[in-house]
A and B are shown apart, each in its own frame.
Chain A
Amino acid sequence: QVQLQQWGAGLLKPSETLSLTCTVYGGSFSGYYWTWIRQPPGKGLEWIGEINHGGSTTYSPSLKSRTSISVDTSKNQFSLRLTSVTAADTAVYSCARGVATVLRGVPDWYFDLWGRGTLVTVSS
């Protein structure tokens, strides 16, 4: 059974760098888009960005200037770095496995596995 286990610092000060890592256990690392998603307290989901096993990345335009996602295929891990955090970056950050496919001739993407999420609080 494939599982995603994530970890990282949960309390940051403004201007510090958020760093989280997600390890994929029990399944293939290739063929998927490894994704970070966040959810501020009481609010909706926000896609941060993704990386494939080859290292190709795509980021949300609103976060692109501060975001970096990297991959270590030897460890089946991918990581998120978000620089210069502020209180607005306080959220539960989750890793997820993204699937890209074509169904009935139409492109389709979905997240079929999620990590448990890490609450990251930014406070002075």
Chain B
Amino acid sequence: SSELTQDPAVSVALGQTVRITCQGDTLRNYYASWYQQKPGQAPLLILYGKTNRPSGIPDRFSGSSSGNTASLTITGAQAEDEADYYCNSRDSSGNHLVFGGGTKLTVL
């Protein structure tokens, strides 16, 4: 099992707000990065450094963290946000990288 834990599936009504979480003790010391993956596509970096969005990522995606939990919030979810979302950070040794198990987001 991964050192980063994500809920397997989350759903949100179109236009509503949803939070996707990533839990792990290492998140007390390191930031998580977040990736969106749509079927048949490579993952896309959407957040890093807790709150930073790469160029081109809509501002409805935001990040936060508290204690051992990092969160990705989508404010006003769109149909195109339906995807798998993965968090990534360091493992307990600090020497390796690990991914969370992923959260499948369904937009209703």
Which residues of A line the B interface, CB within 8 A? Answer: 35, 37, 44-47, 50, 58-61, 94, 98-99, 101, 103-104, 106-112, 114-117
- A-B contact list, 13 entries, CB within 8 Å: A45-B35, A45-B88, A45-B102, A101-B49, A103-B31, A103-B52, A107-B90, A108-B31, A108-B33, A108-B49, A109-B30, A114-B43, A115-B42
Which residues of B line the A interface, CB within 8 A? Answer: 2, 29-31, 33, 35, 37, 42-45, 48-50, 52, 54, 86, 88-90, 95-102
Q: Which residues of B contact A45 (CB under 8 A)?
A: 35, 37, 43, 86, 88, 99, 102
Q: Which residues of A contact B102 (CB under 8 A)?
A: 44-45
Choice from B30, B45, B95, B99 contacting A44 with Cβ under 8 Å: B99
Choice from B52, B54, B89 contacting A109 with Cβ under 8 Å: B89
Q: Which residues of A contact B101 (CB under 8 A)?
A: 44
